[in-house]
């Protein structure tokens, strides 16, 4: 007797419990142009990554899990939010894969799909940064930090660093605007 399977029944489950999405690698490619299938797991990216020590999934593992369609786990990781976008991984990769762009695409997809963000304060910082650039055409550090602290409620983080910077005049009190900030605003809105 032939047994008919509906799409729910044939859905594969990843070793970590999420559903497998074979289209995830395609989604990444459409977002940033990077082909994750080029990765052959040499680990050079992780070896050079300055943020790997703080991540819950190492950068090369993010690549492997993306190849395997483990979208739920990748998008729920802290790694995609702790990536500093320094591009060391892209520079070291013998296969020419820009893992930094893959991380960025994962953040974009997570936000677009309204996923639970493991590092919500990083998202708040990104959001506030863009708001400041949109408003002034550049970042005014004091406004950025003030607004970020209001949103994250982490009022006393970095105070020890901030006070000497302020006393040395590294943090201007009055924001300066760039010419053509309307253009900058339009670019941000478009992207």
Size of the site for ligand SF4 (CB under 6 A): 27
| 80 lies in the binding site for ligand SF4 (CB under 6 A) | no
Q: Which segment (34-42, 70-78, 162-170, 172-180) binds ligand SF4 by CB under 6 A?
A: 34-42
Contact 18, 73 (CB under 8 A): yes
The C-alpha atoms of residue 125 and residue 108 are separated, in whole angstroms, by: 15
Exposure class string for 53-84: b at 16+ Cβ within 10 A, else e: eebebbbbbbbebbbbbbbbbbbbbebbbbbe
- Choice between 88 and 128, CB closer to ligand SF4: 88
| 29 lies in the binding site for ligand SF4 (CB under 6 A) | no
| 45 lies in the binding site for ligand SF4 (CB under 6 A) | yes
| 104 lies in the binding site for ligand SF4 (CB under 6 A) | no
The C-alpha atoms of residue 94 and residue 5 are separated, in whole angstroms, by: 42
Q: CB 93 → ligand SF4: shortest distance, Å?
A: 3
27 Cβ contact partners less than 8 Å away, ≥ 6 residues apart: 105, 109
The C-alpha atoms of residue 80 and residue 57 are separated, in whole angstroms, by: 9
| 95 lies in the binding site for ligand SF4 (CB under 6 A) | yes
| 42 lies in the binding site for ligand SF4 (CB under 6 A) | yes
- Choice between 45 and 74, CB closer to ligand SF4: 45
Q: Which segment (1-9, 65-73, 81-89, 170-178) binds ligand SF4 by CB under 6 A?
A: 81-89
| 49 lies in the binding site for ligand SF4 (CB under 6 A) | yes
Dig out the tokens for 26 from the structure: 């395609």
125: left (phi over 0), alpha (psi -120 to 50) or beta: alpha
Residues forming the site for ligand SF4 (CB under 6 A): 39-45, 49-51, 59-60, 63, 83-89, 92-93, 95, 97, 99-100, 103
């Amino acid at each position: 007797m032939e047994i008919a399977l509906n799409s729910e029944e044939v859905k594969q489950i990843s070793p970590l419990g999420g559903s497998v999405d074979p289209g995830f690698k395609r989604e990444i490619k459409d977002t940033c142009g990077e082909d994750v299938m080029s990765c052959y797991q040499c680990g050079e990216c992780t070896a050079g990554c300055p943020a790997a020590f703080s991540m819950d999934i190492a950068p090369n593992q993010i690549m492997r899990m993306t190849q395997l369609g483990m979208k739920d786990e990748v998008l729920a990781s802290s790694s995609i939010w702790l990536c500093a976008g320094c591009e060391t991984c892209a520079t070291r990769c013998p296969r020419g894969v820009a893992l930094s762009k893959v991380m960025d695409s994962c953040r974009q997809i997570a936000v677009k799909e309204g996923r639970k963000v493991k590092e919500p304060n990083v998202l708040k910082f990104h959001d506030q940064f863009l708001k400041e650039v949109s408003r002034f055409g550049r970042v005014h550090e004091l406004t950025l930090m003030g607004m970020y602290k209001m949103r994250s409620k982490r009022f006393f983080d970095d105070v020890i660093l901030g006070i000497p910077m302020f006393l040395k005049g590294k943090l201007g009190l009055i924001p300066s605007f760039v010419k053509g900030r309307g253009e900058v605003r339009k670019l941000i809105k478009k992207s």
